[in-house]
Structure 1
């Protein structure tokens, strides 16, 4: 049993219109689904990805208006990375961030790859990672109708970093329960702290890595706008998902059981340091209820919420996502 790689990462925002502006008009990603949080339909759930919203390319956001600012710390998903084709693309992005006054660091090597760390308008910790030396899970196809030239466009989701108080506990879950392999380690950017551990699954590479940072010197994170809610791992289908549910139950982790999200099927569970994992299927996909050429342009609701559309729309502030 192996995962195919990373499926998506879900984060929190307080301002859906600004979030939409940043991830489409600045980062050039495609809004592939404008829907609601199925557990609380009073809030938007926005999905950004490649041109088709392929699994492994998605960053999603729950909007919680008036949400307080995130206070960074341990037991958190502390960085999301996004893949670009090569080192030259990073130079393009550095110049773009400077022109648009986006907070960013210098291009630096991490885990043997060139990277460029930056933040969005709410302080979300993001990083571009070069696929120039990548071997492993293939990336997606950048959105061709966005503001970023295709050769520099975002290919999908890259390594996700977890910051925890006790790395051994999380590492044990990754290897002993989830079947990840330890690939290596690299120095922490913080003096005196342990190396950051690299784990991979499936074909490996940028689309299939989780990095684990131990920081016993920090307090637990207090989640808010700019924080990450969970990270999801890819499986092919519901049959494989059910096999993973059995394994999670055997490991005695409290979990959600199988949940039908309509666009995919999934399971949620927490590991000992409090990181929330999801295991999600590749399909049915985001074109299950919308034409592939018009993804994200109108509010999409799964069939089990459709009867409540009028009530749901009345509680949402309008968000114009129509192209052209």
Structure 2
């Protein structure tokens, strides 16, 4: 049985934290489940969005770096993040996004599944994919879907639908996906190949492009993607497997809300493996997730200095036209 259970979270780079909050909480209706800082750069926010609890498989996270140059999504990077929404809600989503000033393109992904494609304010590629409420996931997986204030019922984002990837070495990346991460390779088309999450994961599918222009890091690009394991025991077993195939890795890293291993796959992308536990309610009540700035014990003595340098966020700001 696979230790990997699909996507855990996706982390991208943003330019402005308030603009990021307004879009992901205000327009897309995700819940801000954790307002904390980058553990490697504590004077920068790390913002986490997701469902009501920020469960693995729903967590989109950002490093907002004011002043960072614009990036260019491309080869050697994860590209388009895809969210699952009820299929019947796509016309309402198109109207909502258009009303918010977002340019939207209708599309269709694998087997004719309808989708909407657009970018966030930083140019990060995103898609909403029309799916059934329990398609490809356990029967109780939608229990914690977040119904944001002001978002009409039946429109809420359910979870990740998947991700597109672009590799400098597609065959080597495919080997990592199938042999290390236990994704099942499926259909191929003229542009790339599909890979489905193992077992009873989150129903996400990865699409590996054959070709793309070289990418450049910066705001509007994905920093890394993380794959789920249940607990630390599974994480350490996966670390042994990463080391056995001699991929450059971080070793075990404690991210407080989960434990992680980072590694660089052969096609240039940074992958992470992260535990499901302990989750975002470990340091604040579930009903007030994301409302207070949370710091680790190591950073708590620096709170005054950190708060003095971080911009104040208007927590529930939304565009006036929504």
- TM-score, structure 1 as length reference: 0.91
Q: Say if 2:7 and 2:202, in contact at 8 Å, map to a contact too.
A: no
Q: Which residue of 1 aligns with 2:255?
A: 261
Q: Give the deviation of 1:144 after TM superposition.
A: 2.3
CA contact (8 A) 2:30 2:148 kept: no
Q: Distance in 2 between matches of 1:322 and 1:99?
A: 19
Answer whether contact 1:70 1:226 (CA < 8 A) is retained.
yes
8 A Cα contact 1:198 1:209, kept in partner: yes
Q: Answer yes or no: is 1:26 the counterpart of 2:27.
A: yes
Give 2:195's aligned residue. 199
CA distance 1:205–1:197, change in 2 (3 Å): farther
Matched, 1:281 2:275: yes
For structure 2, the 5+ residue unaligned runs are none
Q: CA deviation at 1:234?
A: 0.5
Return the alpha-carbon distance in structure 2 between the equivalents of residues 27 and 53 of structure 1: 15
Q: Residues 274-313 of structure 1, C-alpha deviation per residue, up to 9 Å, x if partnerless?
A: 1110000011111111111111111011222212212222
Deviating above 6 A after TM superposition, structure 1's stretches of 4 or more consecutive aligned residues are: none
CA–CA distance in structure 2, aligned partners of residues 292 and 134 of structure 1 = 24
Q: Go from structure 1 to structure 2 and tell me whether the alpha carbon gap of 1:244 and 1:204 turns closer, same or farther (over 3 Å shift).
A: same
Q: Deviations over 1:44-68 (max 9, x none)?
A: 0000000111111010000110111
**2:93 is paired with a residue of what secondary structure?**
helix
Offset at 1:323? 8.5
> Aligned-pair distance for 1:247?
0.4
1:90·1:107 contact (CA, 8 Å) conserved in 2? no
State how many pairs are aligned: 314
Q: Deviations over 1:109-141 (max 9, x none)?
A: 434421111111111100001123964224543
Aligned partners of 2:35 and 2:290 also within 8 Å: yes
After superposition, the Cα gap between the structure-2 partners of 1:232 and 1:155, relative to the gap in structure 1 and judged at 3 Å, is same
Corresponding position: 1:155 with 2:158: yes
From 284, 291, 294, the equivalent of 1:300 is 294
Work out the CA distance in 2 between the residues paired with 1:162 and 1:113: 19
SS of 1:44 mapped into structure 2: strand
Q: Contact (CA 8 Å) 1:266, 1:279: kept in 2 or not? A: yes
The answer as to whether partners of 1:258 and 1:267 remain within 8 angstroms in 2 is yes
| Aligned equivalent of 1:170 | 173
Tell which deviates more after alignment, 66-75 or 104-113.
104-113
Tell me how far 1:208 sits from its aligned partner. Answer: 3.0
Residue equivalent to 2:125 = 125
1:271 and 2:272 matched: no
Select the residue among 224, 232, 236 that pairs with 1:242: 236
**Alpha-carbon spacing, 1:323–1:12, altered in 2? closer, same or farther (3 Å):** closer
User: How much is the aligned-residue C-alpha RMSD, in angstroms?
Assistant: 1.9
Name structure 1 gaps, 5 residues minimum.
Answer: 187-193
Give the 3 Å change call, closer, same or farther, for CA 323–284 of structure 1 in structure 2: farther
The 1-side partners of 2:206 and 2:186 are apart by 10
**Gap change, CA 1:265 and 1:206, over 3 Å in 2:** closer
